Amino acid sequence: MEQNNYLGTEKVGTLLKQFAIPCIFSLIISCLYNIVDQIFVGNGVGYLGNAATGVIFPITVIGWGVSLFFGDGAAADLSVSFGKNETQDIHTSVGNSILGWRDHYCHQLSLG
């Protein structure tokens, strides 16, 4: 049976190899996608197409960041709620992540 709590017991170097290397490869592939996209758009549409994709790319990255902000925060809150076996808080955290509201934990901890 595989060990489930390896994050707390494994060496940091091993964990870095296990998690950072796939992340690096995904970032490289993402950059290559953008480069190849610019080549095809430049050849097919021209300089106006390259300008359009250059303008929209930062907006796309901001959208990714905002969605990851709310999605990862909701995932962490769901994990805490599952750990405490509080099913009512699960519904609250999903609603808060969709609507972008502050969580009730902030008020309990005097953070918000």
pTM over 0.75, yes/no: no
Confidence category of residue 85, pLDDT binned at 50, 70, 90: confident
Ordered by start, the domain boundaries in the chain are 1-44, 57-112
Confidence category of residue 103, pLDDT binned at 50, 70, 90: low
Burial class (CB in 10 A: 0-12, 13-18, 19+), 77: buried
Confidence category of residue 112, pLDDT binned at 50, 70, 90: very low
Sign of CA dihedral 73, 87, 105, 7: negative
What is the rounded (10 degree) CA torsion for 89, 91, 97, 98? -160
